């Protein structure tokens, strides 16, 4: 569905040019869960902006369904690390704002919003405001907002990065369940090795800046993947391989 062919990204700065990405080639197939895993500053978020047409790559070709991206893509959902909810709008109206922008039928939009609220376990909180919710609940609202127009492609930029460990794990489980029901294509940025293994069909391992693809790893572990999966030999082997890659790059050190 989403394809990068020899993509590079170079920014002009006051001190000169900064190369963020170089020679990136990969594809996210329809219904696939792809994680972009790498150190800070390697261009992971730039991936998402280029893939949605919000940033124009300086070299190479990016296509969605074989069509070149020349402007911002409309049929996409985007979830950021910060929930970015409007504090003066309720849970329901924060979710429905996406439908307002897209001029969706109001009754249909309401119905979809209520279905999503139920799906993420926020029933009874429809009329609450963001400040009345926990961090995990706020992020559930932002996921609902991104999904209300049923996008085929969902971009997620470290959406659980600001959450505590237990909430993060529950959100990971919830996201996998939602994805398994809807089967949209997800491109998910993370720093977390365990998270990448537990969520992904495919992991794109990035080098330090300028970001290159070090390796593409296909994860063949049955779903759904509970936390108990981390105790299996399969998981341990994937984790060891990824850890070795980051140690080889000098991102992780033994001592």
Spatial CB neighbours of 9, under 8 Å, sequence gap ≥ 6:
19, 20, 21, 43, 46, 50, 55, 57, 58, 59
- For residue 17, the model assigns a pLDDT of 83
Which pTM was predicted? 0.89
Compute CA 91 distance to the chain's CA centroid, rounded to the nearest angstrom.
Answer: 21
Which letter, b or e, does each residue of 21-36 get, where b requires 16 or more Cβ atoms within 10 Å of its Cβ? Answer: bbebebebeeebbbbb
Tokens 């409309």 belong to residue:
74
Tell me: the pLDDT tens digits for 25-43?
999 999 999 999 988 878 7
8 A C-beta contact, residue 89 and residue 142:
no
- Kindly list the structural domains of the chain, giving each domain's residue range(s) and its CATH number in brackets, ordered by start: 1-75+160-248 (3.40.50.300), 79-150 (no CATH)
Residue 253 has pLDDT above 80, yes or no: no
- List, as one string, the DSSP characters of 23-56: EEEEEE-TT-EEEEE--TTSSHHHHHHHHTTSS-
DSSP state of 211: B
DSSP state of 109: H
- For residue 219, the model assigns a pLDDT of 96
**Residue 167 has which token pair?**
């909430």
Residue 162 has pLDDT above 80, yes or no: no
């Amino acid at each position: 569905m989403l394809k990068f062919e020899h993509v590079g990204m170079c920014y002009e700065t006051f001190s000169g040019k900064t190369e963020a990405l170089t020679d990136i080639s990969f594809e996210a197939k329809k219904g696939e869960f792809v994680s972009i895993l790498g150190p800070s500053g390697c261009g992971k978020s730039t991936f998402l902006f280029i893939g949605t047409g919000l940033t124009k790559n300086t070299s190479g070709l990016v296509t969605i369904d074989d069509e070149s991206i020349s402007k911002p893509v409309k049929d996409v959902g985007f979830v950021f690390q910060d929930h970015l909810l409007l504090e003066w709008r309720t849970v329901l109206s924060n979710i429905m704002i996406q439908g307002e922008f897209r001029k969706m039928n109001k009754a249909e939009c309401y119905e979809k919003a209520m279905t999503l609220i139920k799906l993420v376990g926020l029933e009874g909180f429809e009329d609450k405001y963001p400040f009345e919710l926990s961090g995990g609940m706020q992020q559930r609202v932002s996921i609902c907002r991104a999904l209300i127009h049923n996008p085929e492609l969902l971009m997620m930029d470290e959406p659980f990065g600001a959450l505590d460990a237990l909430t993060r794990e529950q959100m990971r489980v919830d996201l996998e369940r939602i994805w398994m029901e809807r089967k949209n294509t997800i491109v998910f940025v993370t720093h977390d090795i365990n998270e990448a293994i537990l969520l992904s069909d495919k992991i794109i391992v990035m080098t330090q800046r300028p970001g290159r693809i070090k390796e593409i790893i296909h994860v063949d572990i049955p779903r759904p993947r509970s936390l108990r999966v981390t105790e299996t030999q399969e998981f341990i082997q994937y984790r060891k391989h990824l850890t070795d890659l980051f140690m080889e790059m000098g991102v992780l050190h033994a001592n």
